[in-house]
Amino acid sequence: MREFLIALAGAATLSYPNGTSAVPFYLQPTLGGSEDLRGFRSYRFYDDNLLVVNAEYRWEAFSGLDMAVFFDAGKVAPKRSQLNFHNLETSTGFGLRFNMRNRTFFRIDTGFSHEGFQVWLKFGTPPPIRTRETAISGQR
């Protein structure tokens, strides 16, 4: 029997600067890259606050290789009150996960967005890894 997995994740980063102080750009949370919005280049979006959600469906193609399709959405905003699910940047894509003993050691993701596509080659576990991963496993 082949196994499949549905992985869902979400994260928010909120900034609380004191008084009139501002968060320096190099400390602001960023979106884009192989861990969150895979259809955009790394660090594509940045601001004081961040919201991101990921959904991924993975299945075993054969022993040692899993395949995946994913959907990523997120946004950054200068004010916490502007973090909502309106006007999110989105990306979709597919990937391959090479594994040994039920551990992923290499993955290839291809993400697509309105700005084009990105190909990511990564060693280690697949995203979402920003937060705890909630998974629903099943067999078909």
- Domain coordinates in residue numbering, the chain: 3-139
Interatomic CA distance for residues 133 and 78, integer angstroms: 27
Residue (of 132, 90, 125) closest to 111 by Cα position: 90
Token duo for residue 22: 């501002």
Whether this model's pTM surpasses 0.75: yes
Token pair recorded at residue 36: 């969150």
Secondary structure (DSSP) of 57-101: EEEEEETTEEEEEEEEEEEEESSGGG-SSSS-EEEEEEEEEEEET
CATH, domain 3-139, list 2.40.10.10, 2.40.160.50, 3.20.20.70, 3.40.50.1000 = 2.40.160.50
137 CB neighbour count, 10 Å cutoff: 10
Read off the pLDDT of residues 11-32 as tens digits, 9 standing for 90 and up.
999 998 888 888 898 999 999 9
Tens digits of per-residue pLDDT, 55-102?
999 999 988 899 999 999 999 999 999 999 999 999 999 999 998 877
